[in-house]
Structure 1
């Protein structure tokens, strides 16, 4: 638009509702994980408060929030270390993504298709990478930046 100032596109983190929204969502997700026969064993049946907090911090950074995971927890290398040797099975990966989607519905995260596509797009990408990184594959990238996920081809609709 000539002469018009385009509205600034919010980050996915902002659109979701900030850290509080990610805490609600991932808290519900891990509650579902703890009673899931396929995923609970990965966490010894209980997902610790520390794990929940750290994963919220990761997702917040990835979705455009503060780079606190990188500053305080060691960034990508730390996350990689948490997955090495877990041997995540494809069925577990799919259940993980499915429960993330269910939890988003359960806590009323924004339901617009653009937001959900971005959120679940990262879930698909990240869990597939986690399967690879949890294996004995020789080509695991040992060093990388924490991803900064964006809207892709469908930013949020703002009239």
Structure 2
């Protein structure tokens, strides 16, 4: 009898919580040294990078640390972007620095994982720009957390 191949989640493939926390720690250190992004992030809390690592972990199929431990939600993550007035140069720099941090710490570099990672970063950062220019949070409390895997998100963005 042939056994089915088990496909790991992106969370498992990236190396779990420790890898994501290292990634966000190195990334936000870069952000605070960047003249374009520093003004946006200069007042972030000391545990901001850990909260973001928890969010990404949950989205990538890991434990629900963001919703359980941090008491966060998809709506609360979006609320942090509302009114920030992000733009395309900031979005592009954010992605470039995150991918640079991933390379520096040796995050999985196989094409399939990097395609999924870049896809998520493009998707999420473009939504962050849209939401940052909104006057109110477009995501209602109780909306499901995003889930990201090895494939495509499933259709056009509808806001």
Question: Could you state the TM-score of these two structures normalised by the residue count of structure 2?
Answer: 0.87
- Between the aligned partners of 1:49 and 1:97, the Cα distance in structure 2 is 21
Q: How many residues align?
A: 150
Structure 1 partner of 2:117 = 119
- The 8 Å contact of residues 74 and 139 in structure 2, kept in 1 or not, is answered as no
- Aligned match of 2:75 in 51, 74, 77? 77
Structure 2 partner of 1:145 = 144
With over 3 angstroms needed to count, the CA separation of the structure-2 counterparts of 1:137 and 1:27, relative to structure 1, is: same
Computed over aligned residues only, the root mean square deviation of the Cα atoms, in angstroms, reads 1.7
Q: Which range is displaced more, 88-97 or 142-151?
A: 142-151
- Between the aligned partners of 2:127 and 2:117, the Cα distance in structure 1 is 15
- Aligned match of 2:62 in 45, 60, 65? 65
Give CA-to-partner distance per residue, 1:113-143, whole Å, 9 cap, x none: 0011111110100000000111126793334
Give CA-to-partner distance per residue, 1:7-43, whole Å, 9 cap, x none: 2100000001100000111111111101001001101
Unaligned runs of 5+ in 1: 154-159
Structure 2 partner of 1:33 = 31
- The 8 Å contact of residues 34 and 47 in structure 1, kept in 2 or not, is answered as no
- Between the aligned partners of 1:138 and 1:74, the Cα distance in structure 2 is 18
Question: Could you state the TM-score of these two structures normalised by the residue count of structure 1?
Answer: 0.87
Unaligned runs of 5+ in 2: 153-159
